[in-house]
Chains A and B, each alone.
Chain A
Amino acid sequence: MTTQDPIYKTDALIAEDIDAYLEAHQHKTMLRFITCGSVDDGKSTLIGRLLYDSKMIFEDQLAALESDSKRSGTQGEEIDFALLVDGLAAEREQGITIDVAYRFFATEKRKFIVADTPGHEQYTRNMVTGASTADLAVILIDARKGVLTQTRRHSYLVKLLGIRHVVLAVNKMDLVGYEQETFERIVADYRAFAESIGIEEFTPIPISGFKGDNITGPSANTAWYQGPALLPLLEEVEVEDTRDQAGPFRMQVQWVNRPNLDFRGFAGMIASGQLRPGDAVRVLPSGKTSTVARIVSLDGDKDLAVAGESVTITLADEIDCSRGQVIVASQSPLEVADQFESTIIWMDENELVPGRAYWLKVGTQTVSATVAEPKYEVNVNTQEHLASKTLDLNAIGVANITTDREIPFAPYAENRDLGGFILIDKITNHTVAAGLLHFALRRAQNVHWQATDIGREHHASMKHQKPAVLWLTGLSGSGKSTIANIVEKKLARMNRHTFLLDGDNVRHGLNKDLGFTEADRVENIRRVGEVAKLMTDAGLIVITAFISPFRSERDMVRGMMQPGEFVEVFVDTPLEVAESRDVKGLYAKARSGQLKNFTGIDSPYEHPEAPELRIDTTEMTPEEAADLIIARLIP
């Protein structure tokens, strides 16, 4: 084996004075970092090397490693450190890591958590995940290849996720004869690029993960290099704690602790600043103020808590405060808004549907949110801005986001906890995107709701009725319009004030600019929902007949209405039956390929899971269906 002996030997204190050793190690700090590199840059080898050199490998693991190296290693008879870190069976065979893996090692000064992310094409989602918690990034470059497209991509993501410390590890120096000139050229190339994307500082180090040069200490092979070796640098770099503590106090309330009537504690992790009993605080978005009474803990009350700690606090006054709200220093409140410009990193196989409602989770708060069509997509390789109507897997774009209520936030660049969010698909519950809030749109702040003297109750009482939305959903040709029409006639005879919104009719006017793509269908339903809402405000009973194929949008409309006002009526006609009726000849056209995105043929229909009413049109006539609907409305 040509490797150098590890310099980080087991601490002599362990054998001589274990108590002193433990005392010293209790004061270790923690650094989280990410390694980024392409497939053959030697990332796994470097991590394996760090584990090995910091004595994190036991004899049995080493023995297994040696036998594994012979079986499937790529380094001949030498130890293949990469085998230490490549985990899942499938990827071991391919020789590629396909996910984020976390590794741990420690020196006398620090504990390290390394996020190891893959370098192949499908990498954005994984690297962004790994980078989201990192204090530092090690960007690996193969000395034989220099700055590559992938290097630029990794650097762009590091900058985007706000990692402030960057190490440029020029690896495989052994394969270029440890030439200073090669190193200097790569560093100069990188510097020019880094500055162009706003990375102002980075530390370049010439290394060999395989041979161990400049990992734990200076290497004789690079006598021309005067800078720090990798591990000593990782031990010294400043962690985020200090920076976060310097900011104003902010804590997202995670859970309200109520063991009995006399105690009401607010639990959460402090996102920034410090807190002492007696500090004046404000709860957002309500704006109520109070002072901190106690910082409670199992080990007794504390007189100081800082950013990064999970605490339970009590307030001097009984004020409303629940999960999702933010407690802040009263003299420096957070901005509160419901429209934002944001960067979105799409992480799901199903592309973004602009206008569709997703769950947005920021801190401990989950709200419903819609994303507008992207302003642009970023080409991660060239950082060019491209026009785009959506975002698909691994795409990054800038778009406006609207939440269904105001949320307290801080720009991501200021605070990760208050400005970083995820989007969750309401049907699959998958995490479909990560995002960064940049700033609130003025529009949101300057447009206020104008209160009117004649309100919705007044409108309704003049008509002697309760407003409602009878939402008929089902396949084309299922009988929605026919039934809706009979319902309206019957209600008219009962002196009810109604309005029928029909799918085809709306597309002649209000929605004539919309087509039948998924995004346009979503917008179609959103507009109809808004119109229906205005009509219920006017006191009307609204009957709608729209295919409305997606659960998300039907749920979105339901969410717009007052509780109990939305009545979802599933007009359930099997596809064969609807197709055999084919009143408008549309199924024939869709089958022959003349009509695209036709529900039931080449576009899905998502059945309602718990509609208020289900009409089986194979079992009853339109008359009977209408009576059933009216009976539901007017019992």
Chain B
Amino acid sequence: MDTKTLTHLQRLEAESIHILREVVAEAENPVMLYSVGKDSAVMLHLAKKAFYPSPPPFPLLHVDTTWKFQDMYKLRDKAAKDAGMELLVYQNPEAKERGINPFDHGGLHTDMWKTEGLKQALDKYGFDVAFGGARRDEEKSRAKERVFSFRSANHRWDPKNQRPELWRLYNARKTKGESVRVFPISNWTELDIWQYIHLENIEIVPLYFSQPRPTVERDGLLLMVDDARFPLKDGEEPVMRSIRFRTLGCYPLTGAVESEAQTLPEVIQEMLLTTTSERQGRAIDHDQAASMEKKKQEGYF
């Protein structure tokens, strides 16, 4: 008999689709957290494949901080429309009222908009399962994260009380008040993500490709002046540089890299030849090694 050898991407795709379907079969009210980044783009694409010809049977939720790049907002609305899915945008009203922003409030910005915002949104809509695009290769403490990650009623993660996951069997049963974060692309690496985007021709935010953009340099990070809210210091003048982003978040917190890569193969090439890991561009992770674990226990994704 002829056998067909599955490539690593085909096996990863099959596994992710299996996870997505398992949740839809067992959850009461699932939602997909959509951050508009490349990982979200892949996750959304996998969802389209998993449920075709039906549209994915759950809404997309964007926990917005109001400080994302303009290009991200554009793609967000288009992607949801193309997929035929409902898009829910949630902004923490308290953070909005207090004008919390990354320039004046440091860590509080992430805490209120993202961590608290996420909890509030999940509670508001009563979602019992939320898909997230986290990968195990991103950070050491994530290597031990389960695919189905259980959170207590107050959204805390207890690393000592997670369920064993064997074979392709996921136990999705919840006790009252518990909710689940499910990570369908746990086993993908950054290179896998890029290769898959290339192979499947998935639309991503243009910021991943190099282009001359207005920038300033601060604390070793190259920041893009994406809108008029960016407070320039005395004598600070935005400089046009050919830059792109390896990871996307709030624009004042996301460092760019100088690059000439304008196509996907060029981006992949640069990534493979580069010598720093992708999280380095995120100001949020420049704490001690165990900080991500601490954030996760508090409910940050």
Contacts and interface: CB of A to CB of B under 8 A. Distances in A.
A26 B7 contact: yes
Given A255-B25, A309-B6, A132 B275 contact: no
Contacts of A257: 51, 53-54
Contacts of B232: none
B66 interface: no
A27 B7 contact: yes
B5 A132 contact: no
A424 B14 CA distance: 25
B293 A89 contact: yes
Given A60-B277, A308-B14, A310-B18, A28 B7 contact: yes
A100 B4 CA distance: 31
Interface string B1-44: 10111111111111101100110110000000000000000000
Given A85-B143, A429-B173, A132 B167 contact: yes
B3 A347 contact: no
B11 A308 contact: yes
A551 interface: no
Interface string A394-437: 00000000000000000000001100111010001111001000
Nearest to B17: A310
Interface stretch (A296-304, A470-478, A580-588): A296-304
Contact of A255 (B3, B24, B143, B189): B24
Nearest to A62: B275
Interface stretch (B67-75, B95-103, B116-124, B190-198): B190-198
Nearest to B13: A310
A135 B192 CA distance: 20
B49 interface: yes
Interface in B53-95: 53-55
Interface string A445-480: 000000000000000000000000000000000000
Nearest to A263: B53
Contacts of A296: 52-53
A298 B275 contact: no
A267 B20 CA distance: 11
A516 interface: no
Given A18-B265, A255-B25, A297 B52 contact: yes
Contacts of A258: 54
B289 A29 contact: no
B229 interface: no
B262 interface: no
B8 A60 contact: no
Interface in A203-253: 241-242, 245-246
Interface stretch (A105-113, A283-291, A330-338, A556-564): A105-113
B21 A428 contact: no
A22 B198 contact: yes
A424 B171 contact: yes
A363 B274 CA distance: 42
B109 interface: no
Given A26-B199, A88-B293, A103 B143 contact: yes
B269 A14 contact: yes
B272 A14 contact: yes
Contacts of B241: none
Contacts of A420: 166-167, 169
- Chain B binding surface SS class: helix
B72 to A, nearest CB: 25
A10 B273 contact: yes
A15 B6 contact: no
Contacts of A254: 18, 21-22, 25
Contacts of B268: 18, 22
A312 B4 contact: no
Contact of B48 (A128, A265, A298): A298
Nearest to A426: B173
A424 B55 CA distance: 32
A132 B277 contact: no
B258 interface: no
B3 A267 contact: no
Contacts of A259: 53-55
Contact of B187 (A21, A86, A104, A323): A104
A59 B276 CA distance: 5
B217 interface: no
B289 A298 contact: no
B165 interface: yes
Interface string A120-135: 0000011011001100
A365 to B, nearest CB: 11
A87 to B, nearest CB: 4
B247 interface: no
Contacts of B191: 106
Contacts of A523: none
Contacts of A421: 169
A101 B54 CA distance: 35
A297 B18 contact: no
Contacts of A440: none
A25 interface: yes
A298 B52 contact: yes
A64 interface: yes
B144 interface: yes
A557 B52 CA distance: 41
A116 B53 CA distance: 39
B231 interface: no
Contacts of B237: none
B290 interface: yes
B198 A364 contact: no
B56 to A, nearest CB: 11
A43 B4 CA distance: 34
B284 to A, nearest CB: 15
A242 B5 contact: yes
Nearest to B280: A60
B256 to A, nearest CB: 16
Nearest to B173: A429
A354 to B, nearest CB: 21
A241 B5 contact: yes
B214 interface: no
Contact of A434 (B5, B164, B175): B164
Interface in B269-301: 269, 272-277, 280, 289-290, 293-294
B105 interface: no
A68 interface: yes
B141 interface: yes
A241 B141 contact: no
B167 A417 contact: yes
Interface string B227-242: 0000000000000000
A422 B187 CA distance: 22
A269 interface: yes
Interface string A6-32: 000011001100110110011111100
A507 B102 CA distance: 71
A104 B192 CA distance: 11
A137 to B, nearest CB: 15
Given A102-B136, A104-B189, A18 B49 contact: no
Interface of A: 10-11, 14-15, 18-19, 21-22, 25-30, 58-61, 64, 68, 84-89, 92, 99-104, 106, 110-111, 113, 116, 125-126, 128-129, 132-133, 241-242, 245-246, 254-255, 257-259, 263, 265, 267-269, 274, 296-298, 304, 306, 308-310, 312, 323, 347, 359, 361-364, 416-417, 420-422, 424, 428-431, 434
Given A103-B143, A254-B21, A298-B52, 7 more contacts: A21-B272, A29-B6, A58-B276, A88-B159, A101-B144, A245-B4, A255-B25
Interface of B: 1, 3-15, 17-18, 21-22, 24-25, 48-55, 136-137, 140-141, 143-144, 159, 163-169, 171, 173-175, 178, 186-187, 189, 191-192, 195, 198-199, 265-266, 268-269, 272-277, 280, 289-290, 293-294
10 contacts: A14-B273, A29-B5, A101-B144, A129-B165, A257-B53, A269-B17, A298-B49, A306-B4, A323-B25, A420-B166
In the complex, the 10 A-B pairs of residues with the closest C-beta atoms, listed nearest first: A30-B8, A89-B290, A310-B17, A111-B8, A59-B275, A58-B277, A259-B54, A429-B173, A132-B166, A18-B269
